Amino acid sequence: MSGATEMRAARCARQPGPTGRHRRRLRGPIIVLAGLLAMIAPAVAVEPGEMLADPRLEARARDISAGLRCLVCQNQSIDDSHAPLARDLRQLVRERLVAGDSDQRVRDYIVQRYGEFVLLRPPLNLETVLLWLAPLLLLAGGAAFAYRQLRPASGPARPTASGEAPLTPDEQRRLDEILKRDA
């Protein structure tokens, strides 16, 4: 074994492993990290008393509820909202499923009562075409604006980085004559 290898081996042997004191020091940050992760996880507002006994019906109800907007919160599904109206809508969805309605009939019933605004993903039709095309129109407008700002100008000479316009051919010829004369 070479001298450098022996020194490294001796240094590694002297370093202490994790002791109880070191583990206790890590316990606090680990608890804080676990708490933060628990807060970040999506909160589901469905209460145990609302759930259906049949797991297949409950899965269908959750699927439908995930696609319906809470009319109070407006940026959450009724499945995620704690608002009383969202709870009522969740119960209505479950009642319709227990009555034997298909998923589409339940959605149609809710839309008939509250309008298409209740859908988190509205269908593409004449009334919602602007809603669906708005992101594309904004992107196209931004691209056109950027193109107009970044393209080279046609027409009169643009100023250089120093703020001065480039020389015309006549000015360049005169400058060349002066430089030849002085040289």
Number of domains in the chain: 1
Domain limits at 56?
48-118
In-domain check, residue 98: yes
pLDDT digits (tens, 9 = 90+) for 156-181: 556 666 667 788 889 889 989 998 88
In-domain check, residue 91: yes
Q: How far, in Å, CA of 80 to CA of 55, rounded? A: 19
Residue 144 Cα to chain centre, angstroms: 25
Partners of 68 in the beta sheet? 119
In-domain check, residue 177: no
In-domain check, residue 170: no
Q: How far, in Å, CA of 107 to CA of 101, rounded? A: 10
In-domain check, residue 171: no
- The answer to whether 59 touches 46, Cβ cutoff 8 Å, is no
Phi (first) and psi of residue 168, to 5 degrees: -75, 165
pLDDT digits (tens, 9 = 90+) for 32-83: 666 665 555 444 556 666 777 778 888 888 899 889 988 888 788 888 888 8
In-domain check, residue 144: no
In-domain check, residue 74: yes
In-domain check, residue 128: no
